[in-house]
Amino acid sequence: MGKHSVVREVAAVRHNGAILRWAGAGLLAIGLAVTAGQTRAEAQKIIISHGISTFGDLKYGPDFVPSYVNPNAPKGGEIAESAFGTFDSVNGYTVKGNPAAGSTLPYESLMTGVADEIGASYCLLCTTIEYPEDRSWVIFNLRDDVKFQDGTPMTAEDVAFTFDLFRNHGISDFRTILETQIDKVEILGPLKIKFSFKPGIPYRDMPAQMGSNLVFSKAYYEAHKQNLEESSMEPFMGTGPYMLDHFDAGQTIVWKRNPDYWGEKLNINKGQNNFDTIRFEYYGDPAAMFEGFKAGNYTFRIENSSKNWATGYDFPAITNKWVQKVELPNGNKANGQSFIFNLRREKFQDPRVREAIGLMFNFEWSNQTLFYGLYARINSFWENSYLAASGVPSDAEKALLQPLVDQGLVDASILTDEPIRAPVSGETQLDRANLRKASALLDEAGWSVGDDGLRRNAKGETLKVEFLNADPAWDRIINPYVENLKALGVDATLTDVDDAQMSERIDPPNFDFDMIVDNLSTGYELGDDMTQQFGSSTANNSSYNRVGLASKAVDQLIEVAKAAKTKDEMVVAAKALDRVLLRERIWVPQWYKNVYTLAYYDMYEHPELPPYALGELSFWWFNAEKAEKLKAAGALK
């Protein structure tokens, strides 16, 4: 699914550009097909449809209600969540600034995804799309009833304006992709716009990628002299179901449901956008954040601390059954959470150094001692999905890997070996066997132990590794890792900084860090998101490719995956790419759970969850009767 999916979950991202990332889903629509028109060189069948899918048929027909929602869910009430740090912008798409939680809620894209189907996009701001069989262009036929939040109508001119805005002034890696892929944009009428794609690129994903384009009001943007390149406490004008209500800068922000939302009666929106207000309370400290929940300052908590989950839920609101503590199934693949290296640092350019450092993180000890055995280890960039590589390569995978071996880009052992897995450690914090392996690797890499016990290279420089961290809750996890590295002779340190300093140091253009905790997330449909995350073209300009990976082998496999014509072809490419990425050793993989661990005041209800979304801000709803009982009992402030 794309970032602008129908579930509209608010992602916890540090950099606002993250919202612009495409999920690489291009999409083969079913629907009415007519033989008419010309493509660049020859006549092709022109497909007209309410949606498009990467591979195969769409699950839903026109004018559908998603199967996982409660179409009769009541409207009303408030859901309140927490956020960490602070914010200095209410625009989630500006190049600069730390955007407020929920800052994507006022906006919609031309098409949207659903939470029970991978690789599908359906018309939202459009009625139908038109495209040729080769997908070399796409036309969006826009709805005639779409209104911005100020009541003015949306037109093709607004669509073109917003596209040009991102192409000319958006984050650099986004601009690069648009410049290399889009040939021209034509307004064919007040409610009709066409995007044509440059010759020679894979077209499979392009119609859906254009469907992920947001739409801002051109008139409002120009009248208010807004600027996509600067942070702002005034939002752009969108068409979405929520709009800014009020905020206390850096502390609280509230979004209210637009009472005149144009899409309220659409079937695709039934059972969604149920809360009157969505509030986020900001905290600078995780402990204070948890205390705020106990006190009822906010009402819905996604618990990310295993220690809290195992030992912290014994407060009065739990005892009085005012708060529900539940685990709900999560069908999503693992998010790629890991310690990542900054490959721009000379000391990390030798993979033996990276392997040695990875050997010193003891997941097994951490899981039992710190995490109460709640987690499983991440071993693949597509962990917990059918895209993860396993066993020895299949013949189809070998066909993709052999050219890389022939070019000298990958060692021939990749053709016969199982994929690299995270090292297994023993029950004590410092695993002696892994210490010996790591020591041998550093010796081979030219980092010898000096009289003071520290590793030094031929220049006499110590092997310094700084873990940069903005969340004190991570200290208890990183400190034992630092101790293990010191036992190896690594000059390892943990540096805690505030959220603003963290953003300044880890994002372009600075990239001033050794190792950090990050999410090397991947999608189910491999497209331009892979270029943004792992491509050489983004190695020095993208907040996604913080690692700074620039690998010709990875680049070639990304292009193969993007050009896949069938799902089977894409799965093979993903598995081959997984094997190569694992050999790059760009991460020290961490852990994941296949459940959501949630705590919330007992006034929210939900349908049976779809496989790919929690959707608490979208298809959950408020029970007013339960809320009144909680208020009467003094459970809420």
Task: Tell me the pLDDT tens digit for each residue of 424-461.
Answer: 999 999 999 999 999 999 999 999 999 999 999 999 99
Q: State the CB neighbour count (10 A cutoff) for residue 450.
A: 11
pLDDT at 17 over 50: no
Of the CA atoms within 13 Å of residue 550, those in its CB half-sphere come to 12
pLDDT digits (tens, 9 = 90+) for 377-399: 999 999 999 999 999 999 999 99
pLDDT digits (tens, 9 = 90+) for 602-615: 999 999 999 999 99
Q: Which residues, 6+ apart, have CB-to-CB distance to 532 below 8 Å?
A: 21, 22, 173, 174, 177, 538, 542, 544, 545
pLDDT-derived band at 44 (thresholds 50, 70, 90) equals confident
Per-residue pLDDT, 534? 97
Over the chain, what is the mean pLDDT? 91
Asked whether the beta carbons of 582 and 417 are under 8 A apart, the reply is no
Per-residue pLDDT, 601? 98
Give the rounded percent of residues in the chain with a pLDDT score beyond 90: 84
pLDDT at 4 over 70: no
DSSP result, 333-401: PP--EEEEE-TTSGGGSSHHHHHHHHHT--HHHHHHHTSTT--EE--STTTTSTTS--SSPPHHHHHHH
Q: Which residues, 6+ apart, have CB-to-CB distance to 623 below 8 Å?
A: 74, 77, 603, 604, 605
Structure tokens at 161: 């304006």
pLDDT at 178 over 90: no
pLDDT digits (tens, 9 = 90+) for 127-150: 999 999 999 999 999 999 999 999
Helix axes 567-584, 395-406, angle to 10 degrees: 50
pLDDT at 550 over 70: yes
Per-residue pLDDT, 39? 37
pLDDT at 12 over 50: no
Asked whether the beta carbons of 598 and 303 are under 8 A apart, the reply is yes
pLDDT at 6 over 70: no
pLDDT digits (tens, 9 = 90+) for 328-361: 999 899 999 999 999 999 999 999 999 999 999 9
279 by Cβ neighbours in 10 Å (0-12 / 13-18 / 19+) ranks as buried
Q: What is the largest CA-CA distance in the chain?
A: 79
Asked whether the beta carbons of 253 and 90 are under 8 A apart, the reply is yes
pLDDT at 246 over 70: yes
Q: Which alpha helices (DSSP H) does 104-201 contain, by range?
A: 156-169, 172-181
pLDDT-derived band at 25 (thresholds 50, 70, 90) equals very low
DSSP result, 421-487: -PPP--SSSS-HHHHHHHHHHHHHTT-EE-TTS-EE-TT--B-EEEEEES-GGGHHHHHHHHHHHHH
pLDDT at 193 over 70: yes
pLDDT digits (tens, 9 = 90+) for 79-94: 999 999 999 999 988 8
Q: Which residues, 6+ apart, have CB-to-CB distance to 83 below 8 Å?
A: 12, 100, 101, 280, 281, 282, 283
- Domains defined for the chain, CATH in brackets: 1-329+594-637 (3.40.190.10), 337-592 (3.10.105.10)
- C-alpha closest to that of 242 among 618, 636, 583: 618
Structure tokens at 549: 């990976």
The rounded distance, in Å, linking the Cα atoms of 132 and 203 is 10
Per-residue pLDDT, 3? 29
Give the rounded percent of residues in the chain with a pLDDT score beyond 70: 93
